[in-house]
Amino acid sequence: MTSIHGHEVLNMMLANGQSWTTERLVAAIDEKFGAAARFHTCSQEGMTARELVDFLAARGKFIPAEEGFVTDKSKICQH
């Protein structure tokens, strides 16, 4: 199974331009990449969509917004 880098999810969030809740983001990830997709980052691998969202939140990749959270391109590491 192919693993998708978490940067792709952050870029999806940026392209959409809306604020997210955890539930809405997990549903959007499942819709775009498939419920069976697995994700990796620079330091973790084999994560489900929910685990990835929790991981990204714990790493400060989300910015609180009026109705949930958003991200910013400055939150995406460039390597």
**Structure confidence at residue 1 (pLDDT):** 66
**Structure confidence at residue 48 (pLDDT):** 97
Predicted confidence (pLDDT) at residue 79 exceeds the cutoff of 80: no
The tens digit of pLDDT for each residue in 29-55 reads: 999 999 999 999 989 999 999 999 999
What's the rounded Cα separation, in Å, for the pair 73 and 63?
11
What's the rounded Cα separation, in Å, for the pair 20 and 26?
9
Looking up residue 50, the CATH number of its domain turns out to be 1.10.10
Domain that holds residue 16: 3-75
| Cβ burial, residue 36 (10 Å; 0-12/13-18/19+) | exposed
| Number of domains the chain contains | 1
Do 46 and 38 form a contact (C-beta atoms < 8 A)?
Answer: yes
Per-residue pLDDT band for 62 (boundaries 50, 70, 90) equals very high
